[in-house]
Amino acid sequence: MFSTLLDDDLNYLLSRTENKFYPAGEYVFRSGEGAIHFFLIKSGAVIISQAAEDGKKHDLAQYIAGDTFGEFDFVTSFLRDADARVIKDCTVLVFPDSAYSIEILANEKPDTISRLYLRFLAMLSKRLRSIHSLIAENSMWVKQLQESIFVDQHTALYTRSFMDTEIPKLIQEQAALIIVKPDRFKEINDSYGHQAGDAVLERMAATLLQIVRQREFSWAVRVRGNEMALILQQANREEIKKTARKIARTTAFIGPNRLTARKTDNTAENTFEEFRLTVSMSAGIFEKKGQNWNDFFRHAYGIMKKAWNDGGNKIYFLKTDKDRSGSNSG
């Protein structure tokens, strides 16, 4: 770490460093303390551990003679987020000496401290590259982790997180956005039960998935709760009108049924009462050049909520750049 520093720099740093001895079992620092020093082990060993949510401590790393530790928090001025415990009698170099602060040293020798920080940054950059290489080597594990984050487990749609972080990078020039919300969904849960509500959402999701499977570079997303979205790359206005109306037609046949008892001429009669599902939608075209995806989505979401608040069973189309402040129903 210090091999590239000038001799004068090394001599100065050593003059502002102290030797400390820690017996096995003692802590060099604890989580929550200020990071005002970093450490170089001359002999012995130190283990870094962190408390998990269940209260149990998990070991993160072990350092031996010649290793440095505590430098990342020192450079960033963060509070310590882990404990450093000695597992073998340990002698360490502590920088800076307890009689000094890094601010004092920066005033004494600004050039030396600047070069020290540059060395820290180079070392951290090397560690990050190593981590990146490790991730690449374990790409299958990373893919599984991404799927757990980016795919909704109940509907198999992509998550809002995927839409916010990944879709803006995947859109090439333009994409159509359709946001869908079922009307009277609370009535389904109240009258038919939450299991029926879940089944309706699964069927809606299946409808959207069927649409995206028929074209390349398209995504179906669970935005939140019972709200979903379609992003169709390179779709024109006529295509999204056709797709939105197809969604409206299809969802009309996926509502729940319930068995009710009615009396006709004093005779009990079992009959099915059908619930006709309707949806509220907004639809528009996002142009990557000149538009911000998050702003566009918020605008489209507001238009969808307007359709829903206006009684539902409506499709509102976002207007073009010439007049994007309003909406059209169709």
Query: Which H or E run includes 317?
Result: strand 315-318
Using CA atoms, how far apart are residues 135 and 245, in angstroms rounded to an integer?
44
Instruction: Give the pLDDT of residue 75.
Output: 76
Dihedral sign, Cα of residue 312, residue 314, residue 320, residue 322: negative
Name the β-bridge partners of 46: 63, 86
pLDDT at 85 over 60: yes
Length of the chain (residues): 330
Q: pLDDT by residue (tens digit) across 49-72?
A: 988 777 788 888 899 998 889 888
- For residue 2, pLDDT beyond 70: no
CA proximity to 78, closest of 41, 123, 29? 29
Domains and CATH numbers, the chain: 7-137 (2.60.120.10), 147-329 (3.30.70.270)
Q: Is the pLDDT confidence value at 139 over 80? A: no
| Token pair of 159 as six digits | 């998550």
Whether the Cβ atoms of residue 275 and residue 192 lie closer than 8 Å to each other: yes
Distance CA 254, CA 274 (A): 10
What is d(CA 155, CA 143) in angstroms, rounded to the nearest whole number?
19
**With a threshold of 0.85, does the pTM exceed it?**
no
Indicate whether 87 pLDDT > 70.
yes
* pLDDT score recorded for residue 26: 96
Does residue 302 contact residue 295 with C-beta atoms inside 8 Å?
Answer: no
